[in-house]
Structure 1
Amino acid sequence: MENDKLINSNEMIKKYMVMSMGAGLIPIPVIDIVALTGIQLKMLNNLTEIYQVPFSKNASKSIIGSLVGGLAPTYAAAGIGGSLAKLIPVSGTITGMMTMSSFSGASTYAIGQVFIQHFESGGTLLDFDIDKMQEYFMTAFKQGKEQTKKDIPSE
């Protein structure tokens, strides 16, 4: 039963990772970030259902924002820069779409992995410690970037 939770959670994360990559391809700046946030919140809601943990939209938004905001400045800038690059016609739009797609997939993967680990250890949204999970989030983000390369061969 516990193993089923883990298998189902990982399969679901891959699905949401691909959806997030699609959101990163939205050519309109800011709209891509809004779509990404919605996808990540829905994924987290589904994880709370699998692990039978109460869901709070406000707590989830805060945690996701803090995790992603805590990325090394280079990674965080890539996400924001990828979205804003779409303002430049043609080349900026294409570059921004590819950058934002990769960032979106990797961050969604990392968020999912962090919460699987937290929920597997009996945690809830209320006792989530961002400082303790930030290092694992960075590791999972790097793994997520590798996962996205399987779907996007070039960046």
Structure 2
Amino acid sequence: MSSNQGAAQNTDVADDAVTADTATRPGPDTARQAEAIVGYYSKWGGGAGFIPVPFLDAAAIAGVQIKMLTELSRLYKVPFEENRGRMALVTLLGTIAPSSLTMGAMGAAIRSVPLVGSLLSVVTLPAFAAASTFAVGSVFSQHLASGGTLLDINVEQMKDEVSKEFSARKTKTA
């Protein structure tokens, strides 16, 4: 093999590597699709917040969020393991819930007041569900877009990001 043939083959290999690398990077269309997925499921999450049955509403919201994570994983061509997705989701939502539900016993007392409590729940839970779904979806989308997977999630870092995103979204919906 002459040195020119070897150089030509090395260039071909380098070109293939660049093509493969750019083919796996998400482009602007992927980012727009991810935003659309997060927006779509945020609305469904908010809708699930209207379910008037305690615990059934939480199960529906979690189901919407798991479905969103599945769709985002599919978009970014990252294998989705439902058990890992659930664990990450529960951990991240555990960050949001205490700061958002700080009313605790006072909140429960207000919700038990006829009419006023029901109206308060109808307004707050859907907004909480939509904001938390948006926050989790946005942070997961950013993680997947940067080449991350469910196996390499830095939960501590993501907790901060989800909390910030949730606060920003909560302010927008208020």
Alignment of 1:14-25 (within 5 A): 14-25=39-50
The 1:107–1:129 alpha-carbon spacing in structure 2 relative to 1, beyond 3 Å, is: same
SS at match of 1:71: helix
Q: Match for residue 116 of structure 1?
A: 141
Q: Is the 2:48–2:57 Cα contact (8 Å) retained in structure 1? A: yes
Deviation readout 1:5-26 (Å, 9 max, x if unpaired): 1001101111111111111111
For the pair 1:73 / 2:79, whether they are aligned, the reply is no
Deviation readout 1:91-121 (Å, 9 max, x if unpaired): 2222112111111011000001111110111
Percent identity (aligned): 34
The alpha carbon displacement at 1:125 in A equals 0.5
Aligned length: 149
Give the unaligned 5+ runs of structure 2. 1-25
For the pair 1:48 / 2:70, whether they are aligned, the reply is no
RMSD of aligned alpha carbons: 2.5
Give the structure-1-normalised TM-score: 0.85
For the pair 1:128 / 2:153, whether they are aligned, the reply is yes
Q: Is the 1:55–1:125 Cα contact (8 Å) retained in structure 2? A: yes
Of structures 1 and 2, the larger Rg is shown by 2
Give the structure-2-normalised TM-score: 0.76
Q: Which residue identity is paired with 1:134?
A: K
